[in-house]
Structure 1
Amino acid sequence: MATTCCDHSKEVERVKKNLIEEETLYDIAELFKAFADTTRIKIISVLKEEELCVGAISELLNISQSAISHQLRALKNAKIVKHTRHGKQIFYTLDDEHIKKIYDMGLEHITKG
Structure 2
Amino acid sequence: MFRLMGDGSRLKIILVCLNEPVCVGDIALQLELSASLVSHHLRLLRAARLLRSEKRGKQVFYSVADEHIRCVLEDMIDHVAEPYDREET
TM over 0.5: yes
Is 1:90 aligned to residue 44 of structure 2? no
SS at match of 1:71: helix
Unaligned runs of 5+ in 1: 1-30
1:32 positional shift: 1.6
Cα distance in 1 between the residues matched to 2:7 and 2:41 = 9
List aligned pairs for 1:56-71, cutoff 5 A.
Answer: 56-71=26-41
Q: How many residues align?
A: 83
1:49 positional shift: 2.0
Match of 1:49 among 9, 19, 25: 19
In the TM superposition, structure 1's runs of 4+ consecutive aligned residues that sit over 4 Å from their partners are none
1:35 positional shift: 1.4
Question: For residue 72 of structure 1, what is the amino acid of its counterpart?
Answer: L
* Cα-Cα RMSD: 0.8
Give a deviation string over 1:49-87, Cα, whole Å, max 9, x none.
Answer: 220110000011111101100100110011000101111
Asked which structure has the greater RCO (Cα within 8 Å, sep 6+), the reply is: 2
SS at match of 2:19: coil
Alignment partner, residue 10 of structure 2: 40
Cα distance in 2 between the residues matched to 1:40 and 1:105 = 18
- The two structures have a TM-score, normalised by structure 2, of 0.89
Cα distance in 2 between the residues matched to 1:34 and 1:100 = 15
Cα distance in 2 between the residues matched to 1:92 and 1:45 = 11
Unaligned runs of 5+ in 2: 84-89
- The two structures have a TM-score, normalised by structure 1, of 0.71
1:45 positional shift: 0.8
